[in-house]
Amino acid sequence: MVSSSLPLYALCGPLAASALIFATPARRALLPLYETLHVASIASALAVAFKIAADVVGGETLSAYHDWFMVDALGVIFLGLIGIVGFLTGAYSLSYIRHDLHAGALDVKRAKLYYALFSLFLAMMLLSVMANNIIMMWVAIEATTLGSAFLVGIYGKKSSLEAAWKYVIICTVGVAFGLYGAVLAYANSVAVAGDHHAAILWTTLIEQAPHLDPTIVKLVFVFALIGFGTKVGLFPMHAWLPDAHSEAPSPVSALLSGVLLKCALLAVIRYYAVTVRAVGPDFPQMLLLLLGGLSIAVAAMLFYVQQDLKRKLAYSSVEHVGLMALGLGIGGPLGVGAALLHAINHSFAKALLFCGSGNVLMKYGVRDLGSVKGMLRSAPISGLLIMAGALALAGFPPFNVFVSEFLVFAAGVKGGHIWLMVICALFFTVTVGGLIQIISGSVLGKCPEGLAKGDVGFAALAPMVVLFGLVLAMGVAVPKPVAQLIQNASAIVTGAPSVALTAPWQIEAKAERSSAVAAAAPSQESQQ
């Protein structure tokens, strides 16, 4: 591990911006100041995330503050997601919040609160993915709930307060299970490692895992899966998710679905890595397959019947985190790698669509799919972007979600779970039907009479175009640095040599992969 101050710098920008915005009085004339601080915050987070990513791709693991902070290949994937999606949804917020101010949905006091909390929320997510101290990671994840609760309820309406309350209570109580798991893990780690300070670190837990008490490790995994799984949005702990995602301002919905769920997923993955080393893969994988499969089945059905665009997208998030859990449950380098790639791909696609739902709200003022018709005529660019996002989410090539979904299913078939994969694929077909409804009705359909023609402004469209570019680029080919990171990350999770993931049509890289598999096979044999 290389000691570095970069992890601390990553927090400085958003924390400072948040404090400054909080300290500034709420006046309409100061709106440009809040916006400038906000842009500085999201830009600094993005810049430092990229700098750290560049170091970690080069094979380093960064640490800071007595190793309480640690960024390895696994953590940096999520750090990068926070940087990129945080920046783009933050940029999108500028025009969205201005629109809400003009429309009277927000007053300037709440707009100020929005920007201050946005940066705070970003900082807490950054802290959670860089934490090497298991209790600090819990503190950070709990703090993301507290930081974003008022973002969910920012409109102050009856429904948004209800959503915010459910969000806070369900997630706090859920994550309390995570604390209990962390406490048990730490207690056992102290008993084994002896050193009170080192025992609290992930790096120590991973090293000591084979010596931990198997019963306690199983308990810890169950507590962690219930606790952090609540925040991931896995069935049956997902109850907060559709309410919070649908009532929050659209850029926040994008951030919740695109990034927050994945931060909690990282916590689950870290416990998974320890559990696999301590008691073998069977126990954690069985639980993940069960929760993942149930999440997909239940969410697909609820997705189909929703008439509210944002609730529909929220259930789709439950379904896709279910698929990530399924990938982890299948296990092995391919399953874990595919789950990680799917976490990235889903983030971009879902952020694009939630921003799209923001455009729908700015244009139509409602989220009811029965009233939103003919987007392509009334707001052509938004319409096209939503169509592309919906096709991507449905799993059509050449978009990115296809690649990672394909890899998860391929890993499942290879791992001997053929019937489970067939059933899950059928549920995903139901989702395709629901997404086609969005395209045929809301995007194509007949434009209501009297609706003014003209798209939303450039400032709202530009971040979406970038997201669309990412969705397309990651679909055409998995970029080399990303493939490298995922390969290293899945090796961290499974503790076994890993393979490079590629899109099915990346022929050149495929040849490399088969040679990598061939190279890995003898070493596995020699270990046995």
Partner 1 sequence: MLSFALVNTLAGFLIVTSQSVILAKTSKSAAKFYSLQSLLLVLIFLVLARLQGAHELYLWSATAFVTKVVLLPLVMLKFFGKLVDPNLEAESILPPAASVALSAAVVILCFVVVLGVSLPGSADIKPALAISLAHFFLGLVCIVTQRNILKQVFGYCLMENGSHLTLALLAPNAPELVEVGIATDAIFAVVVMGVLGTQIFRQLNTLDARALTTLKG
Interface residues with partner 1 (CB under 8 A)?
133, 135-136, 138-139, 142-143, 146, 149-150, 153, 156-159, 161-166, 168-169, 172-173, 176, 179-180, 183-184, 186-188, 190-191, 196-197, 199-200, 213, 215-216, 219, 242-243, 246-247, 302, 305-306, 311
Smallest distance from the beta carbon of 162 to partner 1, in angstroms? 5
Smallest distance from the beta carbon of 130 to partner 1, in angstroms? 15
3-state secondary structure 442-470: HHHCCCCCCCCCCCCCHHHHHHHHHHHHH
53 vs 302, beta carbon nearer partner 1: 302
CA–CA separation, 85 and 65 (whole Å): 27
Smallest distance from the beta carbon of 176 to partner 1, in angstroms? 5
Smallest distance from the beta carbon of 314 to partner 1, in angstroms? 11
Smallest distance from the beta carbon of 267 to partner 1, in angstroms? 15
CA–CA separation, 196 and 455 (whole Å): 59
Smallest distance from the beta carbon of 330 to partner 1, in angstroms? 31
Closest CA to 488 of 10, 52, 60: 60
Helix (H, G, I), strand (E, B) or coil at 452: coil
Smallest distance from the beta carbon of 483 to partner 1, in angstroms? 36
182 vs 478, beta carbon nearer partner 1: 182
176 vs 516, beta carbon nearer partner 1: 176
Closest CA to 246 of 314, 158, 148, 343: 314
Pair 321, 238: CB distance under 8 Å? no
136 vs 460, beta carbon nearer partner 1: 136
Residue position matching structure tokens 């139901």:
430
CA–CA separation, 208 and 337 (whole Å): 24
CA–CA separation, 183 and 171 (whole Å): 18
102 vs 158, beta carbon nearer partner 1: 158
- Listed in sequence order, the residues at least 6 apart from 516 whose beta carbon sits closer than 8 Å to its beta carbon are 499, 500
Smallest distance from the beta carbon of 56 to partner 1, in angstroms? 26
| Helix residue ranges, H only, 249-331 | 250-255, 261-279, 282-305, 309-330
CA triple 480-72-224, angle to 5 deg: 115
14 vs 331, beta carbon nearer partner 1: 14
Cα 508 to Cα 162, 372, 502, 511: the distances in Å are: 53, 45, 10, 5
Smallest distance from the beta carbon of 65 to partner 1, in angstroms? 10
Which amino acid is present at 333? P
- Listed in sequence order, the residues at least 6 apart from 528 whose beta carbon sits closer than 8 Å to its beta carbon are none
1 vs 187, beta carbon nearer partner 1: 187
259 vs 302, beta carbon nearer partner 1: 302
Longest dimension (CA), the chain: 73
Helix (H, G, I), strand (E, B) or coil at 454: coil
Which amino acid is present at 215? T
**Structure token pair of residue 69:** 């902070």
